[in-house]
Structure 1
C-alpha cells in the first residue's frame, strides 16, 4: 500500500500517490494507493490485507490508538518504508496530548529542522554500507529538501549520509531498523517529483520495499 497522508501544502500529496505507486509496481508489488492514517483500527479489507507500506506522510491526524495498531502490524512481521516528511510529528513525550511517541518508537526518529542555510539545495549522497537496499547504488547527487532529525534510540543501521556544506557535519539520510518480526526503513529524501524521478532514489526505494518484505 502506497499510503499518502497529511495537510502540509508544501508537499505535493496529489502527485505523490501515482509517482510512488509506479516505483512500488516496478519493484514487483501489486500496489494499492490510499490516503489517511486513520485505517489501522478496525481496518477495511484493503488495509487489513497489506503487509508492506510505502509512506509519504506530511502532517495530518494519526491518533495514538492508530499508531499502536500500526506498530502491532509491523511487530508481527509487516514492513514500512517511510519517506522524507513522514518523520514530522508533534510531541514525542508519551504523556502529551496527541502524543506521537508510539510512531517515534516505530520509525526511530523525529524531524528537528532543515539545518542552516536555505532549506533546499543540491545534496551529495554517500553510500556508507553494503546492504541489499544499497546494492548497485553508488554515491549520487540530487536537488532535495534538507532534513535533520533525532534518533529515538541506537537501534538502527545507517546506510547513506550527506555532509553539510556549511561545516562538513555528517547527516544520516537512510537507515534500517527492526521491530519485533518487522522491518522499518527511513529515507530522508523525497520532497517532490524532481526526486521521485531520480534513478538512484527509485532504486533505493524499490530495494527497500523488497527488504522490508523479506524478498530478495
Structure 2
C-alpha cells in the first residue's frame, strides 16, 4: 500500500511535526510513505493512480484547478483521503471543487469570555465534549469509543448531507456570543466519493491534542478505513 502525505500551508498547525507523528503508524501497517510539501503532486496522474491513501495537512493556502481535479479524480477512482483540523477542513478556501469533495468547511472557533482573553491562541481554547453519534457507535472508525472532553479549539463547520457524522460537538449560546441557541457541529465525519472514502477529524490544533488517545485512535483508524480496498485495487 502506498500513502501520500501532503503538508504545508499555515505553520501554526505545525504540518511537519503533526504528520511525522503518524509516519511510524503507517509504516508499521505496511504502507510505503511518500511526503510532499505542496499539493502540486495532485496534478501528477501517475503518482495519484498509484496512491492508496492521501493524508493531507495543508491549512489555508491555494490549489490550482488541475491540482484539485487530480485530487478529486484520485479519490473517485478509489484512493482514500483523510486529515485533521485545518489541514483538511480549512484548506484551499477559494476552491469550491475542493470544498464539495470534503463536504465541510471551518468557519470559526468561538473564544472565551472577553474578560478572560489575554491575546494569545489560548483565548480560543474551550473545554468541550465530543459526542459519538448513534452511527459512530457502530462505525469502524469510532466503534467502542466513549464521548470525550478536550480543551482546545472547538471547530464550527458548515457541512452537507453527504457527510456521515460519527461525532459531534455543541457550541453553547453564551451571553457574549451573537447566536441565540446552541449549535451542534460535526466533529468527525466520513464521506463516499466515487470509489473513494474520506475521513475528516476536526480536533487536532496542536500536537498534544493529536496525541489524545481518543483523537489519535480516530485518526489512525480513519487512515486504515479510508485506504483503497482490495476490491477497488482490482484484486
Q: Could you state the TM-score of these two structures normalised by the residue count of structure 2?
A: 0.78
Structure 2 residue 74 is matched with structure 1 residue 73: yes
Taking the aligned partners of 2:224 and 2:85, their CA distance within structure 1 comes to 19
Where in structure 1 are there 5+ consecutive unaligned residues? 92-98
Taking the aligned partners of 1:113 and 1:73, their CA distance within structure 2 comes to 29
After superposition, give the CA deviation of every residue in 1:32-65 in whole Å (9 maximum; x if it has no partner). 33321111213574x5532101211112231121
Tell me which residue corresponds to 1:112: 107
User: Residues 44 and 181 of structure 1: is their aligned pair in 2 closer, same or farther, counting only changes over 3 Å?
Assistant: closer
Contact 1:2/1:20 (8 A) holds in 2: no
**Aligned partner of 1:149 among 113, 134, 157:** 157
Structure number with larger C-alpha Rg: 2
Tell me which residue corresponds to 1:61: 62
Q: 1:119, CA displacement in angstroms?
A: 1.9
**Aligned partner of 2:167 among 160, 164, 167:** 160
Taking the aligned partners of 1:147 and 1:184, their CA distance within structure 2 comes to 18
More helix by share: 2
Contact 1:2/1:53 (8 A) holds in 2: yes
**Aligned partner of 1:192 among 164, 187, 206:** 206
Q: Which runs of 4+ in 1 moved over 4 A?
A: none
Q: 1:116, CA displacement in angstroms?
A: 4.9
Tell me which residue corresponds to 1:95: none
Taking the aligned partners of 1:89 and 1:136, their CA distance within structure 2 comes to 30
Q: Could you state the TM-score of these two structures normalised by the residue count of structure 1?
A: 0.85
Tell me which residue corresponds to 1:31: 33
**Aligned partner of 2:96 among 98, 101, 105:** 101
Taking the aligned partners of 1:61 and 1:90, their CA distance within structure 2 comes to 5
Q: 1:126, CA displacement in angstroms?
A: 0.9
User: Residues 161 and 28 of structure 1: is their aligned pair in 2 closer, same or farther, counting only changes over 3 Å?
Assistant: farther
Tell me which residue corresponds to 1:5: 8
